Amino acid sequence: MPKAAVCVGLNEPLEIQDVDLEAPHAGEIRVRMGASGVCHSDLSIQNGTLMGSFPMVLGHEGAGVVEEIGDGVTGFELGDHVVVSWVPQCGECYFCKKGQGFLCEAGQMAMVTGGLLDGSTRFSRGGEPIKQMACSGTFSEQAVIPAIGAVKIPKDIPLDIAALIGCGVLTGVGAALNTANIRKGDTVAVIGCGGVGLNVIQGAKIAGADEIIAIDMLANKLDMAKEFGATTLVNASDGDPVSKVMELTQQRGVDVAFEVIGLKQTIEQTVMLTRRGGEAVLVGVPRMEVMLELPAFFGVVLMSKTVKGCWYGSSNVQTDVPKLLEYYKRGELKLDELISRRISVDDVNDAFKAMEAGEVARSVIQY
Ligand SMILES: [Zn+2]
Ligand SMILES: [Zn+2]
C-alpha cells in the first residue's frame, strides 16, 4: 500500500493516505518513485486555477524505478530508471508524426478525466477510485503510469535531479530552446522568475542570448535569476516594466520575451515589450477565464510580432530529456541549484505554503 498525498477537495489541505494500487494494465508500468518535485501546477489544482476532480493524487514531476511491466510494453526492463512525462507521447498520432509530441492526442482525455489513457485510474481507497493528476500522481511512493509517459534515463543520474526535468526544466528550458527562436546575440526578457522562469533564463543562455533581462516584483526571485544567467534585473514594483525595458533597448523592445506567470497584465506587457518582428512566448498558465486585450494594429500587425503559446516547452520527451541531461553533465544546466529543500511526502502542505509565500526554488519529495 503506497503512501500518497491526496487532494480531497478544492482548497483543502492534502491528506496523506495509504492507498491501494492496482497492477499495471496493458501498456502501463508501475514505478517506485525516487523523488517528486512540488510544482506550481500541483498547487493550481488544489486552489482551482487548473481544473481537477477529486479525490486526486497530485504530483506530475517525478522520477523512479520500473518495478512492474504490463502486457505489450516494449523498451523497458525491471529496474530501469525513468523520468515521468506528464504528456504521454505515443509517437504515432498526427501530432507525434509531425514532430510535436507535446501535442500528442493519446493523453488528451486523460488530462481532463484524471485517469490514465483509458480514463480509468489505478489508485483507490476502500474501493473508491482516486484520480491521478496528468497521467502521473507522483506524490505517491508508487504509481502506475502509461509506458508512453516514461522516459528511460541513465542510472547514474540522481533521481531527485531527474525528477525536476519532468516538468519545470522541460517547460522552461524547452520554451527557450524549442518554442522560441533565439538567435546568438539576442536580447531576451523573462517576466516571472519562479522555478520555470529560472529555467527559461538558463535555456536562453544556452541558446546564445547576450542580454537576459529578468523581471519580477520580488527581490529574492531576481537574485536567483542573476545566478541562473540574467544580465539585467528589473523590479516591476519600482514602476512600469515595459517602459523600463524600452529604456534598456533604445526604445526598440527585446528580440524575444517570455511570460512565465499567467496573468492578463503581465501577458499584455510581454507582448508590448517585444520589438518589431520579435517573438512573445507565453509559458505561464492563466486561469481559464483570462482574456487578453492587445492593440491589434499598432501592437501586433504593424509591428509584425509573433505571439506564441508554449505547452510543455514544445518538448519531444524521448529526445529532449536525454539532451537536457547532457547539458547538465556538461555543467551548462543548473539543476542542483533549483532544489531549495528535500522533504518527505508528509510535509507537502508545508511546501505549498512556502510556494504561496514566494519561495523560488523547488521543494523535492524524497521517498
Ligand atoms: Zn509542473
Ligand atoms: Zn502521439
Cα of 167 vs centre of ligand 2, distance in Å, is 18
Is 118 within 8 Å of 144 (Cβ atoms)? no
**What number is the average pLDDT over the span 128-146?**
97
Cα of 122 vs centre of ligand 1, distance in Å, is 21
The whole-number pLDDT of residue 110 equals 83
Max mean pLDDT among 50-54, 110-114, 169-173, 336-340 falls in 169-173
Using the predicted structure, report yes or no on whether residue 107 has a pLDDT greater than 90.
Answer: no
Using the predicted structure, report yes or no on whether residue 49 has a pLDDT greater than 90.
Answer: no
The whole-number pLDDT of residue 77 equals 98
Residue ranges of alpha helices (H) inside the chain are: 40-47, 94-97, 108-113, 159-164, 170-174, 195-207, 219-227, 241-248, 264-272, 317-329, 348-356
Cα of 197 vs centre of ligand 1, distance in Å, is 12
Starting at the edge strand found earlier in the chain, the sheet holding 187-191 runs 232-235, 211-216, 187-191, 254-259, 274-282, 306-309
Ligand nearest to the CA of 164: 1
Using the predicted structure, report yes or no on whether residue 223 has a pLDDT greater than 90.
Answer: yes
Tens-place pLDDT, residues 290-325: 999 999 999 899 999 999 999 999 999 999 999 999
Is 358 within 8 Å of 220 (Cβ atoms)? yes
Is 271 within 8 Å of 307 (Cβ atoms)? yes
Distances (CA, A) of 185 to 209, 228, 321: 5, 17, 26
Cα of 284 vs centre of ligand 1, distance in Å, is 11
**What number is the average pLDDT over the span 204-215?**
98
Using the predicted structure, report yes or no on whether residue 20 has a pLDDT greater than 80.
Answer: yes
Task: Report percent pLDDT > 70 for the chain.
Answer: 100
Tens-place pLDDT, residues 325-363: 999 999 999 999 999 899 999 999 999 999 888 877 889
* Residue partners of 261: CB distance under 8 A and separation at least 6: 191, 192, 194, 284
The whole-number pLDDT of residue 149 equals 97
**What number is the average pLDDT over the span 279-284?**
98
The whole-number pLDDT of residue 113 equals 86
Is 24 within 8 Å of 70 (Cβ atoms)? yes
**What number is the average pLDDT over the span 219-243?**
97
Neighbouring-strand partners of residue 151: 83
The whole-number pLDDT of residue 163 equals 97
Cα of 39 vs centre of ligand 1, distance in Å, is 5
The whole-number pLDDT of residue 281 equals 98
Cα of 106 vs centre of ligand 2, distance in Å, is 6
Cα of 199 vs centre of ligand 2, distance in Å, is 26
Cα of 73 vs centre of ligand 1, distance in Å, is 26
Ligand nearest to the CA of 36: 1
**What number is the average pLDDT over the span 129-135?**
97
For residue 242, name the pLDDT band (cuts at 50, 70, 90).
Answer: very high
- Which residue's entry shows cell 522533504? 343
Cα of 61 vs centre of ligand 2, distance in Å, is 20
Cα of 168 vs centre of ligand 2, distance in Å, is 21
For residue 112, name the pLDDT band (cuts at 50, 70, 90).
Answer: confident
Cα of 103 vs centre of ligand 2, distance in Å, is 7
The whole-number pLDDT of residue 22 equals 98
Using the predicted structure, report yes or no on whether residue 204 has a pLDDT greater than 90.
Answer: yes
Query: 203: helix, coil or strand?
Result: helix
The whole-number pLDDT of residue 357 equals 86
Starting at the edge strand found earlier in the chain, the sheet holding 20-21 runs 15-18, 3-7, 56-57, 128-132, 123-125, 20-21
Ligand nearest to the CA of 167: 1
Q: How far apart are CA 133 and CA 116, in angstroms?
A: 9
Ligand nearest to the CA of 165: 1
Ligand nearest to the CA of 42: 1
Using the predicted structure, report yes or no on whether residue 185 has a pLDDT greater than 90.
Answer: yes
Ligand nearest to the CA of 107: 2
Ligand nearest to the CA of 95: 2
Cα of 31 vs centre of ligand 2, distance in Å, is 22
Cα of 95 vs centre of ligand 2, distance in Å, is 6
Q: Read off φ and ψ for residue 108, nearest 5 degrees.
A: -60, -45
Using the predicted structure, report yes or no on whether residue 30 has a pLDDT greater than 80.
Answer: yes
For residue 50, name the pLDDT band (cuts at 50, 70, 90).
Answer: confident
Ligand nearest to the CA of 283: 1
Using the predicted structure, report yes or no on whether residue 18 has a pLDDT greater than 80.
Answer: yes
